[in-house]
Amino acid sequence: MQSGSSTEACDVTDRPSHTSKNLEIPHETVGAMPGTLHIESDEKPRIFLVDYSESNVEERELAEIDDCIPYIDQQSITWIDIRGIGHEPVFRRLAEIFDIHPLALEDLVNVPQRPKSEAYPSQHIFVCRMVSLLDGDLKTEQFGILFGKGYVVTVQEEPLVDCLDPVRQRIRRGRGLIRKAGSDYLAYALLDAVIDGFYPVLEKYGETLDELELHVLKTQHASSNEIFGLKRELLQLRRAIWPQRDLLSQLLRDDSPHINEETRRYYRDTYDHSVQIMDMVETFREIASSLMDLLMTGVSNRLNEVMKVLTIVSTIFLPMTFIAGVYGMNFNPEISKWNMPELNWVHGYPFSLALMVVSATLLLLYYRSRGWIGGRHDRLGRALDRLQGKAGRGRRIQRKARGGEPAAPIGRTAMRRSPPVSSRAERTPPKNPKR
Using one digit for the tens of pLDDT, what is the confidence trace for 402-414?
555 444 444 444 4
pLDDT at 379 over 60: no
Query: Are 151 and 94 found together in one domain?
Result: yes
Which residues lie below 8 Å from residue 126, measured CB to CB, with a gap of 6+? 115, 116, 117, 144, 145, 146, 187, 191, 247
Q: Is the peptide bond before 112 cis (omega within 30 degrees of 0)?
A: yes
> How far, in Å, CA of 65 to CA of 78, rounded?
13
Q: How many CA atoms lie within 13 A of 24 on its CB side?
A: 19
Which run of H or E residues covers position 349? helix 348-369
Query: Are 239 and 347 found together in one domain?
Result: no
What mean pLDDT do residues 169-175 have?
Answer: 90
Beta-ladder partners of 57: 52
Q: Does some domain include residue 274?
A: yes
pLDDT at 222 over 60: yes
Alpha-helix residue ranges (DSSP H) falling in 81-197:
88-98, 102-109, 165-173, 183-196
Beta-ladder partners of 151: 78, 148
Q: Does some domain include residue 424?
A: no
Query: Are 244 and 386 found together in one domain?
Result: no
Query: Are 48 and 113 found together in one domain?
Result: yes
What mean pLDDT do residues 18-45 have?
Answer: 67
Q: Does some domain include residue 322?
A: no
- Count of structural domains, the chain: 2
Q: Does some domain include residue 408?
A: no
pLDDT at 14 over 60: no
Q: Does some domain include residue 126?
A: yes
What is the extent of the structural domain holding 342?
A: 327-402
Query: Are 281 and 343 found together in one domain?
Result: no
Query: Are 284 and 364 found together in one domain?
Result: no
> How far, in Å, CA of 124 to CA of 101, rounded?
10
> How far, in Å, CA of 271 to CA of 288, rounded?
26
pLDDT at 3 over 50: no
Query: Are 217 and 88 found together in one domain?
Result: yes
pLDDT number for residue 81 = 95
Task: Determine the 3-state secondary structure of 348 from DSSP.
Answer: helix
pTM: 0.68
pLDDT at 8 over 50: no
Q: Does some domain include residue 419?
A: no
Nearest C-alpha neighbor of 197 from the set 417, 327, 8: 8
pLDDT number for residue 279 = 94
pLDDT number for residue 37 = 84
Query: Are 77 and 117 found together in one domain?
Result: yes
Query: Are 293 and 341 found together in one domain?
Result: no
pLDDT number for residue 27 = 54
Kindly tell me the sign of the dihedral angle through the C-alpha atoms of 186, 188, 190, 193. negative
Least confident of 180-194, 195-209, 377-391: 377-391
pLDDT number for residue 146 = 95
